[in-house]
Chains A and B, each alone.
Chain A
Amino acid sequence: MNLTGVKTILFSEEAIQKRVRELGRQISDDYRDKHPILISVLKGTMYFVADLTRQMDIPVNIDFMSIGVYPGISRKTGIVRINKDLDINITGRHVLMIEDIINTGLTMGYLVQNMEARKPASIKVCTLLNNPFKRLMNIPLAYVGFQVPDIYLVGYGIDYNQEYRHLPYIAEFDEDEYKNEQA
């Protein structure tokens, strides 16, 4: 398997699964009798949400969202739009947003605002990885898998150019090495 650019493994498959089990238990305890909706942001969260929910022993609904940045026409930057919206009505429900990694917080900020407008009973955020070094805004994180350094990571759903999502571990990624190989 060509793993150009994939460097040091930060979190092994075992370490990830152990932490996911802990999070699953913690979330189950906190949301007992609340029947939460876990909203997973595609695509990076696919393995995380699958493993996390299977560690939960409470009733839970799962839904998916996808957002995209669309290039503007007369502007230099684009707009953020929802590609795939929720199927489930979250009004009055306890919502837990699931994210793979939070860097600047812009995406989660957009999502939290969007969800709040739909008047859920509560809304909290669970992220597998938290990079506080790039954070632009204060977003309370109720559940964090791991805090990470300010480096590019791939694996366990996180990609570089749609590659490497399938790796069972999370590793540092050398973008320059990858680009040089591609050139």
Chain B
Amino acid sequence: MAIITISRLDGSLGYEIAEQLSQKLNMRLILRDTVISDWMAEAANGYQLHMLAESPKFYLTNISDGVSFKDYIEARLIEEAEKVPSVIVGMGGQIIFANHPNAIRIRIIASDHIRKERLKSKYGFGEAEAEKLILQSDKKHKKYIQTLYGIDWSDTKNFDMVLNTDNLSVNQCVDMITVLAASKDSLTASPGFEEAGRSAFAYDRKNIMFKHPAEEEFATILDMYGIEWEYEPRTFPVQWDAEGNVKMAISPDFYLAKFDTYIEITTMDQKYVTTKNKKVKRLRELYPDININIVYKKDFHSLLKRFGFSGEDEIDEFNRSENNSVQ
């Protein structure tokens, strides 16, 4: 799992570097706008969203059970970044991921003069407007970090690399960050860095239609542990008729490539698992090199309970409706 945090000054080309980096390394780009409009909308009402945009202190407001907006964002950033390799812009990423073994923390700076020239060119500002913008922007960034974390936003000790774009291009910065990432073993050894596309697909549940809610819950548990999985990647024929046509086959629900193990989830009551047991037994006989484990209802519910999911009733209801439709 690879994480690159980018802290930048307005006009320093930090956003452009983050964007190009995410494209080059096939990593997801997480911006403050994403967090506010997509994630925070789940936890905050309209007024709270407005206040979060205006006041850093509001991030310390309690949402529920002692959890503040700051805590929410941190937990969510960590959760999301550990699922999909991510480039995270701003939001105190250099502090949130300070001790993360798979993170590198970058700061992009430029002189005030160069920053103003870039803003004037980009937005058609005059000198005074550009000056005002960088002052306000710097003040805002500084206040956010100081309020939430009590540290100096510009303290270079919080970064692994600081790049001055006065004389460095976006491409050069992206190349240097890539080299740093490549030299940090834990980052490049992460499947997310080397095969970002594959990992992104594997974890992108929006593209997966789980046939059963239990499978989605199980995938969540695997994600929690950072265990890569594939959903029904292979079908094993286990019985043929006299003409060689496949009469019975099994597509195990999950394959954990790292552990070379297939997993079949069954949440049916014991009286309905006979067929499944038969299929798995045949699979083991016909394909002795294949590792497959069945997770039965009791163990599955035990797992859910362990991790705080209370969806047993939903799963049982789903199973009942499946049985009724078959009959």
Binding site for B on A (CB under 8 A): 69-82, 85, 91, 104-107, 109-110, 113-114, 116-119, 134-139
Q: List which B282-327 residues lie within 8 A (CB) of chain A.
A: 291, 293, 295, 299, 303, 307-311
B189 and A138 within 8 A (CB) = no
- Provide a sorted-by-A list of 27 A–B residue pairs whose CB atoms are within 8 angstroms: A71-B308, A73-B63, A73-B75, A76-B220, A76-B309, A76-B311, A77-B217, A78-B308, A82-B101, A85-B99, A106-B222, A106-B225, A106-B227, A110-B225, A113-B226, A113-B258, A117-B101, A117-B190, A118-B101, A118-B189, A135-B293, A136-B263, A136-B293, A137-B227, A137-B256, A137-B259, A138-B259
Contact residues of B with A, CB < 8 Å? Answer: 39, 42-43, 63, 67, 71-72, 75-76, 78-79, 82, 99, 101-102, 185-186, 189-190, 217, 220-222, 224-227, 256, 258-261, 263, 291, 293, 295, 299, 303, 307-311
- Identity of the chain B residue whose Cβ is nearest the Cβ of A133 in the assembled complex: B299
A119 touching B185, Cβ below 8 Å: yes
Report the bound CA distance from A107 to B293 in whole Å. 17
Q: How far is the CB of A112 from chain B (nearest CB, A)?
A: 8
Shortest Cβ-Cβ A-B pairs, 5 listed: A137-B259, A110-B225, A117-B189, A137-B261, A138-B261
Most B CB atoms within 10 A — which of A73, A79, A110, A138? A73
CB distance from B114 to the nearest CB of A (A): 38
Knowing A69-B224, A69-B307 touch, does A74 contact B76 (C-beta < 8 A)?
A: yes
Q: What residues on B are CB-neighbors of A70 within 8 Å?
A: 75
In the bound complex, how far is the Cα of B295 from the Cα of A109, in angstroms? 17
Residues of chain A within 8 A of B99, CB atoms compared: 85
A168–B54 Cα distance when bound, in Å, is 58
Given A80-B225, A117-B189, A134-B299, A74 and B258 contact (CB-CB distance below 8 Å): no
Residues of A within 8 A of B190 (CB): 117
Q: Are A138 and B291 in contact (CB under 8 A)?
A: yes
With A109-B259, A116-B189 given, name 14 new contacts (CB 8 A): A70-B75, A71-B308, A72-B79, A73-B67, A76-B309, A77-B220, A78-B308, A79-B224, A80-B226, A91-B185, A105-B259, A106-B221, A137-B293, A138-B261
Task: Output the least CB separation between A106 and chain B (Å).
Answer: 5
- Looking at B99, B101, B217, B291, the one whose CB has the most chain A CB atoms below 10 A away is B101
Instruction: Given A79-B82, A117-B101, answer yes or no on A74-B42 (Cβ-Cβ < 8 Å).
Output: yes
